[in-house]
Amino acid sequence: MGSINAAAVADKVINIASKGKLINLQKITESCGYARASARAQNAKRTKTFQNRIKPIVIQLEKERQRAIEALKTKNLNEVVYEKLVDAIDKMTKNIELLKGNPTERREEKYDDNQINIIAERRFRSNGGISSAK
């Protein structure tokens, strides 16, 4: 038997996705009984229960996204229709990635030399002063 909480999260996600709305998995997860830290880490989406329940909606979202992409190829789109299609594709793509457990944005962390030295020093101290370099 799978996790009841993960099943509840999946059901809420499916309901929201079917309305074409953007999914806030952290809020949904927390509302289904997960602790704040688990909700923030989005642990529910890693469960087999969640993935099994979500798979059909992901497949459907991928089909709908492809239909919207094909519609963009139409030459006689007015600006409003074009913008709505682009917005729909954007939301569907983010929801698909989120439901699959993939990141929905790319963050590039850049550290200067001082920040790298501070991180290295903390790591060195946490290892009891023993270098982890090989």
pLDDT at 108 over 70: no
> Is the residue at 46 inside a domain?
yes
Question: For the chain, how many structural domains are there in total?
Answer: 1
Question: CA 73 to CA 10: how far, in whole Å?
Answer: 33
- pLDDT, tens digit, 9 for 90 and up, residues 46-90: 889 999 999 998 999 899 999 999 998 887 888 888 899 999 899
- Residue 30: pLDDT over 60: yes
Find out whether 28 and 16 touch, Cβ atoms under 8 Å.
yes
Domain that holds residue 60: 4-126
Q: Answer yes or no: is 97 within a domain.
A: yes
Alpha-carbon radius of gyration of the chain? 21
- Nearest Cα to Cα of residue 10 among 42, 36, 35, 37: 42
